[in-house]
Amino acid sequence: MVWHGPAQPFTPVLLERDGRLDYALLVTLAIPTAEPQAFLLRAEQEKRRVFTLQREEIWSDQLTSPQGGFWAQPPQYDGFPPTIEGQTKTVWRWYFVFEDDERSWRMKHAPQLADAAWATLE
């Protein structure tokens, strides 16, 4: 790891392997009924690879039936539901912004690698 931003749910990281750079977001998800999950998110848009989270939307649909009831109720929530029961579907929607001038960004965070090539996203 060459550089990382402040620890947060979407932590930017700059990696180097074989003299090539790789940029990703280290994403951590806190799910109410499970251990926290983490993964690397890599993206490319019009040859740009450095991106940050602009905003996030989370909403949940739940299908439950009250004790002794017959008809299921489909409440919807912004974020996670207050209790996890029945069938629950949670949707995350992430909006990203890509850097326009990646060379300047690299000069700021890893000047020794400002001219290094990017690793391929294969």
pLDDT digits (tens, 9 = 90+) for 15-59: 988 888 899 999 998 777 778 889 999 999 998 999 999 999 988
Q: What's the confidence (pLDDT) of residue 64? A: 73
The per-residue pLDDT for range 49-105, each reduced to its tens digit, is: 999 999 999 888 887 766 776 667 788 888 878 877 777 888 889 999 999 999 899
Look at the chain and report how many structural domains it folds into: 1
pLDDT of 27 reads 92
In this prediction, residue 120 has a pLDDT band, given cuts at 50, 70 and 90, of confident
Q: Which domain holds residue 46?
A: 3-113
Q: What is the pLDDT of residue 51?
A: 94
Q: What pLDDT shows up at residue 122?
A: 67
Q: Is residue 38 part of a domain?
A: yes
Name 60's bridge partners. 77, 90
Q: Assess if residue 68 is contained within a domain.
A: yes
The 3-class secondary structure across the chain, one letter per residue, is CCEECCCCCEEEEEEEECCEEEEEEEEEECCCCCCCEEEEECCCECCECCEEEEEEEEEEEEEECCCCCCCCECCEEECCCCCCCCEEEEEEEEEEEECCCHHHHHHHHCHHHCCCCECCCC
CB 3 within 8 A of CB 110: yes
- Tell me whether residue 119 is in a domain: no
- Supply the pLDDT for residue 52: 92
- Dihedral angle sign, alpha carbons of residues 61, 57, 13, 115: positive
Judge whether 121 lies within some domain: no
Is 122 inside a domain boundary? no
Instruction: Kindly tell me the sign of the dihedral angle through the C-alpha atoms of 105, 110, 116, 121.
Output: negative
- Per-residue pLDDT at 25: 95
